[in-house]
């Protein structure tokens, strides 16, 4: 949909779906909550994507999750019965963060990483020296010791992703690197503040860790993942993407739908994830432009609702 047009969040019925899908050559899918929930595929989702691929649609996968590599996502897609995907079709925040630092850092510069093995693997594949993943202990009993811990001279970026070992020791080191000056970049993989689990449970997301470092450093991070335009630019630079012929499919308004709207894509909300129609209605009825920017063009109960429009 053209930027600036009022979005109405219409249910995508089969007749309209044929027209919308027929006008598109690329579909970008979020994964968790859209294609699968945990380790179980959403019923009918694999069949829908298989039919889209059979109609020569380009399928890409755009996720804020920094705890899996592109290869791991490609493997999971195949394991859950989705059409085989090459790693180059997957745009995770770990891979895109490595891509960003490869372009932004001078030769030989390293990154201090608050993140896990997948982030380390993607940085390694991009040839970026890095340190930090894994557990960390404070280097002594008191603040004087913490402020004198050794620093690597070639570190020119602090990268914050999902880190189950996040702790005060890492926060201290991140701050000390950033206090060297603005030449040390602060980069976050995403701002997702909460990660929903089954049965209504949730855990803190990467956004909580990014915010902690931002507050300590009194600086704002450059964000890689949705709703940042950067992650879409990564897709557009890999493939010949025409925004007017591209659909963003997601379950979160503040990441998937907002990025799609900001980038001039057609946006499709699926209700198999975290968003309800009541939330969308609240944004539609608001006078706040920023809330209206969270409204999708269309919605479906599930990706499986596209199947009737894809019948021969």
Give 2's pLDDT tier (boundaries 50, 70, 90): very low
Q: Give the active site residue among 25, 30, 163, 297.
A: 30
Q: What is the dihedral of CA 75, 79, 81, 84, to 10 degrees?
A: 20
Is residue 281 a known part of a binding site? Answer: no
Closest to 206 in 3D by CA, of 124, 72, 113, 274: 113
**Stated pTM of the model:** 0.94
Q: How far, in Å, CA of 51 to CA of 87, rounded? A: 20
End-to-end, the C-alpha distance of the chain in Å comes to 26
pLDDT tens digits for range 81-131:
999 999 999 999 999 999 999 999 999 999 999 999 999 999 999 999 999
- Rounded mean pLDDT, 226-247: 96
- Whether residue 67 is predicted with pLDDT greater than 60 in this model: the reply is yes
Q: What are phi and psi of 250, to 5 degrees?
A: -155, 175
Closest to 84 in 3D by CA, of 39, 114, 54: 54
CA separation, residue 145 to residues 53, 136, 150 (Å): 58, 14, 10
Give 5's pLDDT tier (boundaries 50, 70, 90): low
Q: Give the active site residue among 32, 121, 256, 305.
A: 32
Is residue 32 a known part of a binding site? Answer: yes
301, two tokens: 């109960």
91, two tokens: 């745009």
Q: Is residue 30 among the annotated active site residues?
A: yes
pLDDT tens digits for range 162-215:
999 999 999 999 999 999 999 999 999 999 999 888 777 889 999 999 999 999
Q: Is residue 256 among the annotated active site residues?
A: no
Q: What are phi and psi of 43, to 5 degrees?
A: -55, 130
pLDDT tens digits for range 258-293:
999 999 999 999 999 999 999 999 999 999 999 999
The radius of gyration computed from the CA coordinates of the chain, to the nearest angstrom, equals: 20
Strand partners, 148: none
> What pLDDT is attached to residue 197?
80
């Amino acid at each position: 949909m053209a930027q600036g047009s009022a979005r109405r969040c219409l249910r995508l019925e089969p007749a309209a779906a044929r027209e919308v899908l027929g006008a598109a050559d690329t579909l970008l899918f979020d994964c968790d909550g859209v294609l699968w929930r945990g380790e179980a595929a959403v019923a009918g989702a694999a069949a829908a994507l298989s039919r889209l691929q059979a109609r020569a649609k380009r399928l890409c996968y755009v996720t804020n999750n920094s705890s899996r590599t592109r290869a791991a996502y490609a493997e999971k897609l195949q394991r859950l019965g989705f059409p085989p995907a090459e790693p180059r079709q997957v745009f995770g925040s770990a891979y895109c963060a490595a891509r960003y630092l490869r372009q932004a850092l001078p030769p030989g510069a390293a990154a201090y990483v608050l993140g896990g093995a997948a982030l380390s693997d993607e940085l390694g594949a991009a040839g970026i020296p890095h340190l930090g993943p894994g557990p960390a202990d404070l280097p002594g009993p008191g603040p004087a010791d913490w402020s004198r811990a050794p620093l690597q001279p070639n570190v020119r970026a602090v990268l914050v992703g999902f880190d189950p070992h996040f702790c005060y020791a890492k926060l201290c080191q991140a701050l000390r690197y950033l206090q060297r000056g603005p030449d040390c970049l602060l980069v976050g993989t995403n701002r997702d503040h909460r990660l929903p689990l089954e049965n209504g449970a949730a855990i803190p997301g990467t956004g909580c860790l990014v915010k902690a470092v931002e507050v300590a450093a009194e600086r704002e991070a450059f964000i890689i993942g949705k709703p940042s335009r950067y992650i879409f630019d990564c897709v557009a630079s890999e493939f010949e993407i025409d925004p007017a012929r591209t659909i963003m499919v997601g379950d979160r308004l503040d990441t998937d739908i907002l990025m799609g709207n900001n980038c001039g894509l057609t946006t499709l909300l699926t209700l198999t994830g975290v968003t309800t129609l009541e939330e969308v209605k609240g944004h539609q009825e608001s006078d706040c432009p920023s809330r209206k920017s969270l409204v999708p063009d269309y919605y479906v109960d599930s990706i499986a609702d596209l199947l009737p429009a894809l019948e021969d």
